[in-house]
Amino acid sequence: MREEIIISGRMNKGVDPILHAWGWEIAVYLFLGGLAAGLLIYAGFYAIRNKEKNFFTALKLAPMFVPFFLILGLMALFIDLHHKLYFWRLYTTIHLNSPMSWGAWTLMVITPLSIIYAVLNLKAVFPQFNFSNKYIQYLSFAIEKTENKSPNWNWKFKWMRDLESFLNEKKLILMWALLIYGIILGIYTGILLSAFNARPFWNTSVLGMLFLVSGLSTAAAFIMLISKDHEEIKWFSKIDLAMIGIELFLIIHMFMGFLASTQVQIEAAKMFLGGQYTFVFWGVVVFMGLLLPALLEIMELRGYKINHRFAAILILLGGLILRFVIVYAGQSSRYLY
């Protein structure tokens, strides 16, 4: 008979596992939430400054996509839940020290507000849209004929027209709300991870600002992607360059903080400095998703004929992959015993 002296249970399978509780759903949710937040921040900021004539895409067209981004993100989050029937319990209480509680209530407010703003922009985005389906017309829309006999439309029922007029009168309040809640949502996507102190790679205050700036960068890229106004594209290309510069600064600052911290955070940083995440982070996220688009945007601003959509797509892909890398790397990092 062999005698063993057990001084620790760490060697037993499952006692000290590497956490892999979160998958692609959380990364997609964080990306779509950051993108939606960035679009709402731009829309709110420029609407408050009365720039609607200068930035039609940023203030009218792009916000039409925000409700869809938020709903898709919430669907991904719902898929990740293990106890799906009890999600409503998040809304039975408020925990001011819980990032998840902040996020749940922020999404509860910002989603209907974004839908209201999208509906208010319908006439501006689709001024002569012909709702040919008679059942759709019967429910909500009435087709009118203008002086030049082109089809126009209005809300069919008086209470809908009155509600639209009331909301347009309060539009400034709505835009302030979207701006403030957009900033909260953008920061929350990073704070959600940094609150997990047991995961050294997530345990940094830089993540909140990094995800906010990344959301603003991807939002600027999305506006560039769908806009047809050359001056608007040029302006948001400049904004995106500034966001990329800030993002690179925050990334460098984050790793400097890790390397100057405790041994567990040094080990977490090593996953990106010669470890398993080195190529995908520095090669794909930083080079392909930040440096290369920045170079292409600079060349385009200097007069070279470069399709701006290529840079925009790279930025969007880089922002998405950034979330995947941070979500998975954070779960791979752990405290040493």
Check whether 160 has a pLDDT greater than 70.
Answer: yes
For the chain, the maximum distance between any two Cα atoms, rounded to a whole number of angstroms, is 101
Q: What is the rounded distance in angstroms from the CA atom of residue 247 to the CA atom of residue 28?
A: 19
CATH number for the domain running over 24-332: 1.20.1630.10
Specify the range with the lowest mean pLDDT, choosing from 28-42, 70-84, 148-162, 249-263. Answer: 148-162
Would you call 321 helix, strand, or coil by DSSP?
helix
Alpha helices in the chain (DSSP H): 24-48, 56, 66-80, 99-120, 122-125, 134-139, 158-169, 171-194, 206-226, 230-259, 263-270, 278, 292-301, 308-332
Angle, helices 158-169/99-120, rounded to nearest 10 degrees: 120
Residues in CB range of 230: below 8 A, 6 or more apart? none
Helix (H) or strand (E) holding 155: strand 151-155
For 74, the token pair is: 């919430």
Check whether 165 has a pLDDT greater than 70.
Answer: yes
Please compute the mean of the pLDDT values over residues 56-60 and round it to a whole number. 91
Q: What is the rounded distance in angstroms from the CA atom of residue 323 to the CA atom of residue 21?
A: 15
CB 37 within 8 Å of CB 215: yes
- DSSP 8-state secondary structure symbol assigned to residue 19: P
Would you call 320 helix, strand, or coil by DSSP?
helix
Characterize the bridge pairing of strands 141-145 and 151-155.
Answer: antiparallel
pTM: 0.85
- Higher-pLDDT residue of 306, 288: 288
* For the chain, domain boundaries: 24-332
- Higher-pLDDT residue of 2, 134: 2
Provide the pLDDT for residue 53: 83
Provide the pLDDT for residue 150: 52
Specify the range with the lowest mean pLDDT, choosing from 85-99, 257-271, 316-330. Answer: 85-99
Q: What is the rounded distance in angstroms from the CA atom of residue 294 to the CA atom of residue 176?
A: 31
Check whether 1 has a pLDDT greater than 80.
Answer: no
Would you call 228 helix, strand, or coil by DSSP?
coil
Closest residue by Cα to residue 313 from 333, 285, 293, 287: 293
Please compute the mean of the pLDDT values over residues 159-187 and round it to a whole number. 88
